Amino acid sequence: MRTSKGKYFLFITLIPLLSGCLGIKHLKDNEKLLYQQRIDAPREIDRDELSNFYAQESNRKMLGLPIAPLVGIYYLGYRSYDQEKMIKRKEKAEKKFDAKIAAATKPRKINNLQFRKQQKLEKFDKKIDEGNTVMQWGEPVAVFDSSLVSITEGRFRGYLFSKGYFLNQVHARIDTSRILRKRVKVLYTVEPGPAYHIDSIFYQIADTAILRTVLSNERASFLKKGERYDEDNLTLERERLDFLLKDNGYYDFSRQYIEFKMDTAYESPNRRIAVMVQIHEPAKRGYHKRFTVDEVNFTTDASTNRFRRERRERSYRDIHFRYYEDNYNLKILSQRVFLKPGDQYSRALTLNTQRQLANVDAFKFVNINYDTTGGRFIANIFTSPLSRYEWSNEAGVNVTQGYPGPFYNISFKKRNVFKGMETFDLSGRFGFEGVASATRDQNFYKSTEAGVNASFTFPQFIWPFRDRTRFRHAAYNPKTKFTAGYAYTDRPEYRRTAVSIVGSYTWQNNKGRSYQLTPVNLSVIDTANLSTGFKTLLTEQAEQGNYSLINSFRPSFVNSIIFGVTWNYKNYGNAERSSGFIRAQVESGGTIWNFLDPQIVTQYDLNYFKYLRFSLDLRRINVLHKNTTAAYRFNSGFAYSYSDGRSLPYEKFFFAGGSNSIRAWRPRRLGPGSFKPRMNGEDPLARGNPREDGLFDYSIEQPAEVLLEASVEIRQKLFGFVSGAIFVDAGNTWTFQRRVKVDPATEVEVENGNSQFKFDQFYKEIAVGTGFGLRFDFTFLILRLDVGMKVWDPARDEGDKFVLDKVRFFRPYATQTADGGWTNYREPVIYNVGIGYPF
């Protein structure tokens, strides 16, 4: 009895607190809070899409809890907000700008002042309408309005009707909480009724040429027999027919000529619909004209003016070029023009010409219009050249595997080097970054990075193709790039330099899919100034079977051939609609040595590598709500070495852990498999004085040949420029060679977990982490703070792998037992700092 009374008393005492969190205190006496809206509908009805039609939204709550922090933020700003004062400030600013504009004499200054005035007044208008900045971050309390419930019902009925549920019914039930009488819940019950399906599709098109074109492309139609009626498909079909006809010569065709008529009386007891597709004739001409290109004119310097000079004209491949100065190789330039005299007008070829000319990084703008005067159909292309020389510099913050650090980039570009729209780029970079120590746990050091790169980019394949082949390939935006670079890295453990030469081809099949082939990828890598501790670490890893790591830090010559494919679905990362991204890459290292004598290797005693490497990165973002998205990632790869030392270049290993990987582990420290790291308090090689806390020592990076990792992240905008996220990461790395641990006293192998990838065991060695974070969108960059917590640690002993209940935010520790072992440990959380989203 006492327990039940105690719970009841606790609940009663929480009511005022919850009321304050929900913003009920800001309601007037006759007002109520719209606390919750729900939709009860059958499975076939998309409730998320229906919820977009609410006439009134309830206040956003944090993680589904009865807490609405945005309401508190809004009224925090409301306390200091005075709308009348803001209006007066706007008037004062407007008068001040008007006086400056009246006093100005130079047109350039007047235009600048008018632009600044407009920007300033727009900011004032936003504050007058939406409140001050703090108010804009929050939202006012949602005062329940019963009239908006009826509007929502009507919107729901209209939506269901558009989806083929013509006999639908929607009912709303309004409930008021018995205890919190100021709260209102609304339940919308949706009864869609029977769905109507398309039974027949007819065409009423007087122009037989158009009818043949439509029927020959009927497979691509969005209207299918047997499918449920959907008004969205009518819109899509209208757009498809419009594009189809414009791609077949009908330049002045418009979608207004397309009309759909439905007959629901057709076999109505069976809920069938007959659809009539009509294409009307234009009223004035009486028929749809098919246009043929009579002439193609190309003005290469449309924005340029030469006093008392006329443009020169020259024809090449039936294109009339006009220019003041002969700056471009017309053979190369004409490869990007897909419009020819005698061909029918095509909207797709027009857009492709415009896109391919814009892709060569030679013009400020590319405009294409058609002149129909005088009974002729003339295509006019106008371009404006970019500046031939360009300097740029950039300063910012970068982070790859540790803490952010500043960097500075400077670059120089020269366009149209050989009059074939080639570009020469010269860039330099210098920066610092906080990276985890390779020899000590819980320590970060400054890493200095610098580099210089020079490259030539050609807007075609540098290969002995015939001209006909080159023109055919031009539709795929071909590019050839040659790069020479020097990179320098200075860390406390080592100094590493690399000289590289790269030659690559890139091309695109469409806007979303691109390819890259790198037949030449050569680099000479040298590592010097290895610290004593790092040398000991490499020796220790070799004694555990990890010979690849010590071989990777020898002077090396690396060459490989790389082929990669990238799919970018619906502009990955946009906030308006769901999108996806896939990148696959295969690499063959040392292949060139199968045909050539490696004299450079033997002459300079360089290590070289033969290997195969494959990686696959899949990403997906689903827009759940205008303020909420779900992001998914699957990342995998494997690398196999078949050289004598069975080793890989250090840069070709796979790593797990860090701000863009499994965030509950420190950068590059997870794995391999269930192999146990050295524990603090254990000193198998008697080096240094490790901390006596019994925790795993994550001071050593864990390179591996197999990688599997996946992540799920829910992102939600909180207020202003701040968003929150919760995530779950899972994955691990493995080796192909067995890694062992040897007792230095007895030289006997000690069982220390499994590092090898085994099909019957790898799924048991998947590490799992979870956590939460904040993202600060400063427009020019996104600063990310994540807190990662281990859930499942495969390196722990059987029965002790679940560690979420052992997580400790501060001062992790373990208790040493009488026999020298460790127990009662507390796992530390991992704090990650990153720039941009993790994926």
Residue 190, pLDDT above cutoff 70 = yes
**What pLDDT score does 395 carry?**
81
Residue 689, pLDDT above cutoff 60 = no
264 and 301 fall within a common domain: no
Find all residues with CB under 8 Å of 511, minimum gap 6, and list them.
355
Which tops the pLDDT comparison, 594 or 355? 355
Residues shown for the chain: 839
**What pLDDT score does 74 carry?**
87
319 and 267 fall within a common domain: no
Tokens 């050249």 correspond to what residue?
385
**What pLDDT score does 41 carry?**
92
Amino acid identity of 265? A
305 and 232 fall within a common domain: no
SS3 of 460, please? Answer: coil
**What pLDDT score does 431 carry?**
85
**What pLDDT score does 747 carry?**
59
Of 331, 352, 385, the one marking the end of a domain is 385
Is 476 among the domain residues?
no
**What pLDDT score does 817 carry?**
61
Q: What angle do CA 194, 198, 202 make, to 5 degrees?
A: 155
At 440, the pLDDT band (50, 70, 90 cuts) reads low
- Average of per-residue pLDDT across 555-578: 87
Residue 496, pLDDT above cutoff 90 = no
- The token duo for 821 is 């072992």
At 4, the pLDDT band (50, 70, 90 cuts) reads very low
Indicate the range of 9-23, 104-118, 122-136 predicted with least confidence. Answer: 9-23
Average pLDDT over the chain, rounded to whole?
84
Is 630 among the domain residues?
no
**What pLDDT score does 527 carry?**
84
With pLDDT > 90 as the criterion, what percentage of the chain qualifies? Answer: 38
Q: Give the count of domains, the chain.
A: 3
Is 821 among the domain residues?
no
- Average of per-residue pLDDT across 105-123: 88
Angstrom distance (rounded) from CA 460 to CA 310: 31
211 and 260 fall within a common domain: yes
- Are 723 and 717 contacting, i.e. CB atoms less than 8 angstroms apart? yes
Amino acid identity of 370? Y
With pLDDT > 70 as the criterion, what percentage of the chain qualifies? Answer: 86
Compute the half-sphere exposure of residue 250: CA atoms within 13 Å on the CB side of its CA.
Answer: 21
Compute the half-sphere exposure of residue 185: CA atoms within 13 Å on the CB side of its CA.
Answer: 11
**What pLDDT score does 553 carry?**
78
213 and 253 fall within a common domain: yes
Could you report the per-residue pLDDT of 317-329, keeping only the tens digit for each?
Answer: 899 999 998 889 8
Indicate the range of 51-55, 411-415, 820-824 predicted with least confidence. Answer: 820-824
Is 738 among the domain residues?
no
How many CB atoms are located within 10 Å of the residue 73 CB? 19
- The token duo for 103 is 């006093």
- Are 650 and 493 contacting, i.e. CB atoms less than 8 angstroms apart? no
245 and 307 fall within a common domain: no
251 and 302 fall within a common domain: no
- Are 813 and 680 contacting, i.e. CB atoms less than 8 angstroms apart? no
Q: Which of 138, 149, 182, 126 is nearest to 57 (CA)?
A: 149
CATH of the domain at 306: 3.10.20.310
- Are 216 and 289 contacting, i.e. CB atoms less than 8 angstroms apart? no
- Average of per-residue pLDDT across 616-625: 90
311 and 249 fall within a common domain: no
261 and 307 fall within a common domain: no
247 and 304 fall within a common domain: no
Residue 543, pLDDT above cutoff 70 = no
Of 224, 244, 279, the one marking the end of a domain is 279
From residue 26, give the alpha-carbon distance in Å to each of 17, 35, 142, 464: 14, 14, 10, 76
At 439, the pLDDT band (50, 70, 90 cuts) reads low
**What pLDDT score does 13 carry?**
38
525 DSSP assignment: E
Cis before residue 404, ω within 30 degrees of 0? Answer: no
- Are 769 and 788 contacting, i.e. CB atoms less than 8 angstroms apart? yes
Is 615 among the domain residues?
no
Could you report the per-residue pLDDT of 194-221, keeping only the tens digit for each?
Answer: 999 998 999 999 999 999 999 999 999 9
**What pLDDT score does 533 carry?**
74
Is 274 among the domain residues?
yes
- Average of per-residue pLDDT across 46-74: 83
322 and 374 fall within a common domain: yes
- Average of per-residue pLDDT across 153-176: 93
**What pLDDT score does 366 carry?**
93
Query: What sign results for the dihedral spanned by CA atoms 142, 145, 146, 151?
Result: negative
- Are 517 and 478 contacting, i.e. CB atoms less than 8 angstroms apart? no
- Average of per-residue pLDDT across 46-70: 83
Is 148 among the domain residues?
no
Which tops the pLDDT comparison, 308 or 319? 319
Of 385, 410, 428, the one marking the end of a domain is 385
Find all residues with CB under 8 Å of 412, minimum gap 6, and list them.
389, 390, 391, 425, 426, 427
DSSP for 162-198, please give it.
HTT-TT-EEEEEEEE-SSSTTEEEEEEEEE--PPPEE
Predicted TM-score (pTM) of the model is 0.79
Q: What angle do CA 225, 227, 232 make, to 5 degrees?
A: 110
**What pLDDT score does 749 carry?**
60
Could you report the per-residue pLDDT of 796-824, keeping only the tens digit for each?
Answer: 888 888 888 888 777 665 665 665 555 56
At 179, the pLDDT band (50, 70, 90 cuts) reads low
Angstrom distance (rounded) from CA 69 to CA 644: 62
Of the ranges 519-523, 570-574, 830-834, which is most confident?
519-523
Residue 745, pLDDT above cutoff 70 = no
Tokens 């039936």 correspond to what residue?
318
250 and 303 fall within a common domain: no
SS3 of 146, please? Answer: helix
The residue segments making up the domain with residue 353 are 295-385
Is 722 among the domain residues?
no
DSSP-H helix ranges across 79-192: 83-103, 107-130, 133-137, 146-162
Amino acid identity of 299? T
How many CB atoms are located within 10 Å of the residue 26 CB? 17
